Amino acid sequence: MQAKREPSQVDLHEPWRIRDVEIPTRLVLAPMAGVSVQAFRRQGRRYGAGLVCSEMVSCAGLHHGNERTLGYLRIAGDEHPLAVQIFGSEPAVMAEAARMVADAGADIVDINFGCPVRKVTKTGAGATLLEDPGRACAIVAAVASAVDLPVSVKMRRGLEDGSRACLAVGPRLVEVGAASLTLHPRSAKQMYTGTADHALTAELVELVDVPIIASGDVTSRARAQAVLAATGASAVMIGRAAQGNPWVLREILEEGTGEPSREEVVAELVLFMRETVRELGDRKANGFLKKFYGWYLGRGRFPRAFKAELTQLDDFVEVECRLFAAAPGARFVLARLEEEQPTADEVTLDLPISIYGGG
Ligand SMILES: Cc1cc2nc3c(=O)[nH]c(=O)nc-3n(C[C@H](O)[C@H](O)[C@H](O)COP(=O)(O)O)c2cc1C
């Protein structure tokens, strides 16, 4: 627990730890399904996230050796510290998944007790586990005894609006081995409506003596400092605000860095596209990337019609050409970025090569 401070006294650069994993800043990049690919995480680390997290990975998919699921375990050497998040409802299968996550080279195993999506909750996984504390504890205990890595849990406040289930379950999860908790204080029912009630985060901080990460609606430096100061949480998690917008991490960490230039935006987008194509393969990357065009080029950075035009294209070379035509200086920024960044060959690829072909 952090001592309560005035917002202006919060030092976002102060390192902290989850057990023996040192985390260099107070910003954590959120796990987001369909978003948190390796390129997103590596970029997040470059812009100041102290810890990054994979999207949720199905323990059943890992158990069955599903090629696509195994692909989520690709970890690059410059992502550390990194958490890989798993979801499921069977303690033994979750423990097996955790061992695979550890073998893949993750620093932390994160468990999802927050997903509100029916496809996941109907299997007894995700947020439903907040209402089944016995099973939730059995999962955490099984995972914690299966691996030497710290185990963290990410949860919502509960299933129904106004629920305080997280305050009942959280301390029990710590007792059975959770080394850190992340709270997104909305109910599962709320999905992403309403606001995150960080008064609940402050209550959770008081109840346990492991680091708490506050997730929900942190979009600016002022908000990050206010949430850290008011809750005593060890770090804030940044989710939607960082979609196509790594600059928000820099802005939160450093006062007055301001908006990126059009050249920077295009260069980062093209680098992101190239890395994602390498990671997912052409076909899968095509659908995946379209939402990112809007996210990168939005926020008043480029005209709406330009974003719409790009999403009509299926050929990356053509998309790159149009982007460079809109901001010619971006080629130089990109060349510098590519020079500074280790290439894919230099990063660790610890898994059998068959896994990487999965696209
Ligand atoms: C598109 C999307 C996908 C998400 N996927 C996950 C996930 O896989 N695991 C998880 O724990 N939370 C997931 N979340 C929740 C976020 O991690 C975060 O808790 C939530 O968005 C609130 O933070 P924000 O206001 O900063 O976005 C997802 C959120 C979004 C918007």
Query: Which domains, and CATH codes, for the chain?
Result: 7-253 (3.20.20.70), 262-352 (no CATH)
Which residues' Cβ are closer than 6 Å to ligand 1?
Answer: 30-35, 55-56, 85, 112, 114-115, 154, 184, 215-218, 238-241
Mean pLDDT over residues 133-147, rounded?
A: 98
pLDDT in the model for residue 98: 98
pLDDT in the model for residue 10: 87
pLDDT tier at 5, thresholds 50, 70, 90: confident
C-alpha radius of gyration, the chain, whole number: 20
Mean pLDDT over residues 112-133, rounded?
A: 96
The two tokens of residue 104 are 């893949």
pLDDT tier at 4, thresholds 50, 70, 90: low
Mean pLDDT over residues 326-343, rounded?
A: 92
pLDDT tier at 96, thresholds 50, 70, 90: very high
Quote the CA–CA distance of 149 and 161 in Å, as a whole number.
Answer: 34
Nearest ligand 1 atom, CA 219: 26
Centre of ligand 1 to C-alpha 98, Å, is 21
pLDDT in the model for residue 256: 87
Nearest to 105 by CA among 21, 17, 210: 21
Mean pLDDT over residues 23-52, rounded?
A: 97
Centre of ligand 1 to C-alpha 80, Å, is 20
pLDDT tier at 341, thresholds 50, 70, 90: confident
Mean pLDDT over residues 145-172, rounded?
A: 98
Better-predicted residue by pLDDT, 353 or 294: 294
* Residue 203 and residue 197 in contact, taking contact as beta carbons nearer than 8 Å: no
pLDDT in the model for residue 346: 54
Quote the CA–CA distance of 170 and 178 in Å, as a whole number.
Answer: 9
- Nearest CA, atom 13, ligand 1: 32
Centre of ligand 1 to C-alpha 152, Å, is 16
Active-site residue flag, 115: yes
